[in-house]
Amino acid sequence: GELSKLSITSQQLYLWSAPIDLVERYQFYLNQLLTFNAISLEKQVFYNCTLPRFGSMCQYEIIYYHSNHSSLYEMIRDYYLLYEYNPTNFTCYTHLQCNRGPFPVCLNWSEICDGDNEYRCTNGQCIPQSFFRDDINTPDCLDGSDEVPK
């Protein structure tokens, strides 16, 4: 309610480095307000983080920060401009061959579910079973399926 009363847009939330799923839900909420009185997000708390902190509750912080950065995007972009990305630094699962395009790319550990103490997210990602439904405020699956209530 309060953000919409202040005419805050989803674009502004995005520029404030709000989590993208929150930005999408807020835009959906704004769209619903145009057609009928929606209350699903009306009471949800939004944490407006100050750089370099980000996350649904400002729980993450990027060490690489300069005061001239105005967004999380700028911080990440400048970091990778300064420190070239080198994919050979990853730990790879080498027992499965995988063709992912013009050059070989290895499978990341989170893409392999062997069934031992793991939960497979709806999107196919794997997380340790101990992370399943451990904290509704911080989903471990990228699609959030590990924290969906029963």
Same domain, 138 and 92: yes
Residues 54 and 111 in one domain: no
Rg of the chain, C-alpha, whole Å: 19
Q: 98: domain CATH number? A: 4.10.400.10
Final residue belonging to a domain, choices 26, 58, 82: 82
Nearest-angstrom CA–CA distance, 115 and 128: 10
| Best CA proximity match to 109, nearest among 96, 100, 122, 99 | 96
98 and 149, same domain (yes or no): yes
CA torsion, ordered 131, 134, 136, 138, to nearest 10 deg: -50
SS3 33: helix
Domain boundary among 82, 106, 133: 82
Query: What is the number of other CB atoms lying within 10 angstroms of the CB of residue 72?
Result: 21
pLDDT at 82: 85
Residue-range definition of the domain harbouring residue 126? 87-150
Indicate the length of the chain as a whole number: 150
Tally of domains within the chain = 2
**Beta strands 126-128; 118-120: pairing state:** antiparallel
Residues 65 and 101 both lie in one domain = no
Same domain, 60 and 34: yes
pTM exceeds 0.75, yes or no: no
- For the chain, 150 residues long, give each residue's pLDDT as a single digit of tens: 788 889 999 999 888 878 888 888 888 888 887 666 555 666 777 888 887 788 888 888 877 777 787 777 888 888 888 887 766 655 555 555 555 555 556 666 666 677 778 888 888 888 889 999 998 888 888 888 999 876
